[in-house]
Amino acid sequence: MSNGQILQVLFLALVVAVASADFNTDIDISWGAGRGKFLNGNLLQLSLDRGSGSGFRSRAEYLYGRVDMDIKLVLGNSAGTVTTYYLSSQGPTHDEIDFEFLGNVTGEPYILHTNVFSQGKGNREQQFYLWFDPRADFHTYSILWNPQQIIFYVDGTPIREFRNIESSAGVPYPKSQPMRLYSSLWDAEDWATRGGLVKTDWSQAPFVASYRNFRADACVWSSGRSACSASKGTWWAQSLDAGGAQKLRWVRKNYMIYNYCTDTKRFGQGFPPECSQEMAP
């Protein structure tokens, strides 16, 4: 290996992507024919009408890290709409970490839907109400993903933890495929609100979701490798402390409305092995 190649490897090993201050440097509008718009550098809006929804994605791929985004959801009657915010790899056996916000009629709460896919297997849904109105102002939604666990946060409060028990229980864990950040606003009236009973009211269109302050303290995937082999963010070994675990229990007790790990109709023959960890205190 030449000296130039050695320096390149060392550079890749030390580069860590850190907080972004401008959507234009880190995000691409990926679809929507102009319905996704950058406003004032650090504000982005996605819109949905009868013709189409819209979406964006990060320019970089990551293998482990923490991503944060401030989001203000669709105002008024948002029934039938879904706003997504997630990490995903590509291919049939993809990994994915999902926030999905299921719209509702005016005055009814949004449902926050979460899921984790590992090597193509998902069906790990947990759903929550929120303790605030996510349409009234921006709130911060975060995904922490390190070798030990995945933690979903809302305004710094943990709402879900998915631990890595692959070595002990054989449950695949997202650990080898880089993922991009994606977000979209689209019409899912066939299932999103009360199982599709409440349809989208197109007289309310265009529906608009707003985003600001994208931050990625994460390991950038470059030249077939992760940039975290030598330098890691504070999130690398982060886990829930006693205070975080207490907050997680508070959310489960007061705001969780569905947990696949308690759905006996789906899993009458026994719950998936990770449920012992998902339900741990």
The domain that contains 248 carries what CATH number?
2.60.120.200
Provide the pLDDT for residue 7: 36
Asked whether residue 125 is assigned to any structural domain, the reply reads yes
Per the DSSP assignment, residues forming a β-bridge with 88 are 96, 180
- pLDDT confidence of 195, banded at 50, 70, 90? confident
Asked whether residue 147 is assigned to any structural domain, the reply reads yes
Asked whether residue 6 is assigned to any structural domain, the reply reads no
Asked whether residue 10 is assigned to any structural domain, the reply reads no
Long-range CB contacts (within 8 A, 24+) of 160-166: 160/114, 160/126, 160/248, 161/240, 161/248, 161/277, 161/278, 162/116, 162/124, 162/274, 162/277, 162/278, 163/274, 163/277, 163/280, 165/273, 165/274, 165/277
- pLDDT confidence of 18, banded at 50, 70, 90? very low
Tokens representing residue 131 in the block? 């303790």
- For the chain, how many structural domains are there in total? 1
Mean pLDDT of the 96-101 span: 98
Residue 75 has pLDDT above 50, yes or no: yes
Asked whether residue 51 is assigned to any structural domain, the reply reads yes
**How far is residue 90's CA from residue 161's CA, in Å, rounded to a whole number?**
23
Closest CA to 97 of 184, 162, 155, 193: 162
Mean pLDDT of the 186-211 span: 90
What are the residue numbers of the active site?
A: 96, 100
Mean pLDDT of the 258-262 span: 95
- pTM value surpassing 0.85: yes
Closest CA to 152 of 252, 53, 222: 252
Cβ–Cβ < 8 Å for 46, 27: no
Mean pLDDT of the 176-197 span: 90
Residue 228 has pLDDT above 80, yes or no: no
Asked whether residue 2 is assigned to any structural domain, the reply reads no
Number of Cβ within 10 Å of residue 21's Cβ equals: 11
Asked whether residue 124 is assigned to any structural domain, the reply reads yes
Q: Which domain holds residue 84?
A: 15-278
Asked whether residue 4 is assigned to any structural domain, the reply reads no
